[in-house]
Amino acid sequence: MAKVFRTIWTFILQVGLLKTTHIKMNDQIVNHIDCSRKNLTTMPDVLINSTTNLNLRGNLLHVVPAWSFKKSRILKSIDLSYNRLRLIERGAFEGLVELSILNLRSNLLTSKLLNVNIFQGLISLQELVIQNNYFYDNYTFFQSEISRVKSLVKLKMDLSRPYQIDKCLCNLSNLQDLEILGLPGQTYAGNSIQNLKCLKIETLLLDSVISLVPNTFISFPNLKTLGISIHTARAAYDVISSIFNSLKIFKDRNMTEISITGNPHRNGFVLGHPHFAVLEKICLQKLKLVGDSILGLKFNPFLRYGYKENCLEELDLSDNLLFNSKDRYVFAFCAFKRLKIIRIPHEVVKDNRVKRSPKDDVSYSFCVPKTLEQLDLHSHVKSYNRRRISNITIVNGSNLKVLNMANVTVRDCDGTVYGIEKLEYLDMSGFNCKVLSEHFLSHFPKLITLITRDAYLGIGLNSLKNSSEFFKRNLDLQHIDLMQNNINSLPDGLFNHPFRQKISIILDKNNLQSLPNFLSVPNTIQQISLKYNRFSCLSDASIDKLNIIKPSSVFLSGNPIECSCKTLRFLKWVHHSGIISDVDEIECVLQNGTLAILSHFLRNLKTYEISCQTKLWITLASCITSFTILAIIFGIVYYRYRFAFEYFFLRIKMKLRHYQPLSEEFNHDAFISYSHKDISWVKTLYDKLQSKGFSLCLYHKDFQGGMPIAECIVEAINSSRKVVFVITKDFLESSWGTYEIEMTRMHAFREGRESMVIVILKDDIKKDKLPKALKEIWYKVVCIVWPSDSEAPYNSEEMFYEKLSITLSDGRLKLCDDNTSKL
């Protein structure tokens, strides 16, 4: 059972916790196993025969059991730092004859529980890190165990009051590199480390220094590199003075490097004569005073130090705030004859309301050492500068390859810089380039990296008259960083150049919503970073462009990417192209407003695509159904009221033709509507009534040629006092008859002439056979029946014509009476 559990545990480690990498070095495969920060409480059984490097840093291990590493005898590096180790069992490192690096830093080890000869057998161990443990309970025993590892070249250990370095360490004849961590309250002095004089220590690092005495380094005649890290919380107020006093021991010595870091802000100082007086007597190659709260740099002592015969090749004063200094020290650089690297932060002007002066726009020049390769004037705080880039000339800058002027807020960028034609790296972040020259970079033909963050290039680049000139002479560019420039769009032609290498373009933290216009040539762009812009997706044109360019990677995290059916093509492209490299970091907005990791969403993209197609068909079907229903309803309404519509449109049409209806008189007494098959009978009727003085309208004789018949019918109805319908079987079968009845009904209703209709019934037509429109107004209709039985009383043709004449004369007499009364 235990064996099964152990197998499962090993499998979990290998699958879930273990990170293995294979690196080829000198034709050999180096197998690295990384189990760091996995909260392990026991040693994992994950080693294999080829393992050379094991990282167990930052776990919860308490014990290193015996034979813990027996499966890999070729281990070269073991990192057990930042655990909770209290015990290392005897034989824990047994058999590791090739182990060269062992890191036991920041554990709970004590001398009491440290086994004798614990490091025995580590015959190849060259670096031992054992700082920040609890060996002060028996410091002598602790040092004696270390002294047995005679192969040591590099040692990192603690030194606690009142202990000192023991003579037993003289056995470490190969020791060259020593780092000592002073525990709280420790004061380094010559007597505490005097026993190291027997060793040829070349590199010494003192950590947590609070103060030094003048003879601290008297025991290190072979020292080449010295690093001093000041304890920020406990440092004495004169710690810098004490350190420089202790450096006097190196007078007339050749030193590779002196590094002093960590001086607290409360001990801020101005670097001046007392410090340079010490340094100028040492042949020092590298001076690093990083993060030491240097408030200023005295020009004359600095200039005198440069003119003195010195060996200085690298000067690093970075991470300081030179509040109380002018930038005159720049003009002292030329005094140094061997300087290759200069890192000095530009002055920080306290009041950013600087006044403009005509003198600030004058071209100027300054000198640098001929050997200078890197000039770093950047500051972590913006230093407002009155000057603008106005044809600056750097004398002796022919070897300068790196120029970092980040946060040196030069006012305008409408000039250029001469004298540094071999420049490969330029950082001008923080410049105010609202005014920008097309030839700003024209004198840097070897430029490889350009960083211009927060430089107002969103305004400057779009103000260029010919943007294609900006990078025209920088064809060696490989990295362009335009982050945080408030760019809404980039001008066309900016990147349309045949760059000699693939370029990476960083456009993070801008306001872009569409892909800039890149040159449509494959394999010209290595990387495009568009993080934290305003992309909801990439348009079809942008996708087509990227498919042509084929960049190795595109980054889109931090954008409001939309995961919806509307962006489905973009999502499918992301899933299949593999160009978007940060899909695990992109959060996309779903249709319900929630957020999802894009990589998780893409796992179910096929299902989502089907749902989108279903929604599309549902939407399409709904639209078609709605349209069909509306069409049917409209058709029904139109069919039901088709004659009303017809009459309405005809009236409009006639009105557009400027037709004016008669106001008081009619052209005809009656318009007779009949079937053309009854023309002979109607002709007789017409003759009879005309002989009685009636004016009748017949379509056979009165309709105008060339006019639509529907218009003729409406005009005839409108111009006649009465409308007579001759209802026969043939009339009922005629579509025009029904049409004329409907038009008459509409006209009668509109004009208030409901009594204008006269119906003549023939062929024994019954009322129920009449058209519906006629039956609806039957109560207003005057109906006269043609006599079908000649023998019936009061049913003769004479009586018929008499009745018809009376009916036709009814409106006529009334009109005459009205006209007479008016007279």
782-817 pLDDT, tens digit per residue, is 888 888 766 656 567 788 888 888 888 875 544 333
pLDDT class for 362, splitting at 50, 70, 90?
low
What average pLDDT does the structure give for the chain?
Answer: 83
Q: What pLDDT, on the 0 to 100 scale, is given for residue 823?
A: 25
pLDDT class for 350, splitting at 50, 70, 90?
very low
pTM: 0.71
Best mean pLDDT range from 37-51, 210-224, 473-487: 473-487
Residue type, 415: G
Q: What pLDDT, on the 0 to 100 scale, is given for residue 124?
A: 94
**Taking residues 404-412, what's their average pLDDT?**
82
Q: In the numeric block, which tokens belong to residue 373? A: 């390769």
Residue type, 206: L
Best mean pLDDT range from 256-260, 332-336, 661-665: 256-260
Residue type, 817: D
Instruction: Give the residue ranges of DSSP H helices in 354-480.
Output: 457-460
* Diameter of the chain measured on Cα atoms: 164
Which one, of 495, 493, 492, lies nearest residue 482 by Cα? 495
Give all strands (DSSP E) within 681-741, no chain letters.
696-697, 720-727
**Taking residues 756-769, what's their average pLDDT?**
81
**Taking residues 458-470, what's their average pLDDT?**
92
The rounded distance, in Å, linking the Cα atoms of 177 and 250 is 18
**Taking residues 388-396, what's their average pLDDT?**
79
**Taking residues 373-383, what's their average pLDDT?**
83
Q: What pLDDT, on the 0 to 100 scale, is given for residue 763?
A: 79
Q: Is the pLDDT of residue 303 over 60?
A: yes
Whether residue 457 contacts residue 436, with contact meaning beta carbons closer than 8 Å, is answered with yes
The rounded distance, in Å, linking the Cα atoms of 46 and 71 is 9
pLDDT tens digits for 505-551? 999 999 999 999 888 888 899 999 999 999 999 999 999 999 999 99
SS3 state of residue 347: coil
The better pLDDT of the pair 822, 734 is held by 734
The better pLDDT of the pair 732, 458 is held by 458
Q: What pLDDT, on the 0 to 100 scale, is given for residue 775?
A: 75
Of 117-121, 159-163, 470-474, 623-627, the one with minimum mean pLDDT is 159-163
Distance from the Cα of residue 24 to its chain's centroid:
37
pLDDT class for 655, splitting at 50, 70, 90?
low
CB neighbour list of residue 276: distance below 8 Å, 6 or more residues apart? 301, 302, 304, 305
Strand partners, 212: 188
The better pLDDT of the pair 382, 89 is held by 89
pLDDT tens digits for 609-619? 888 877 666 67
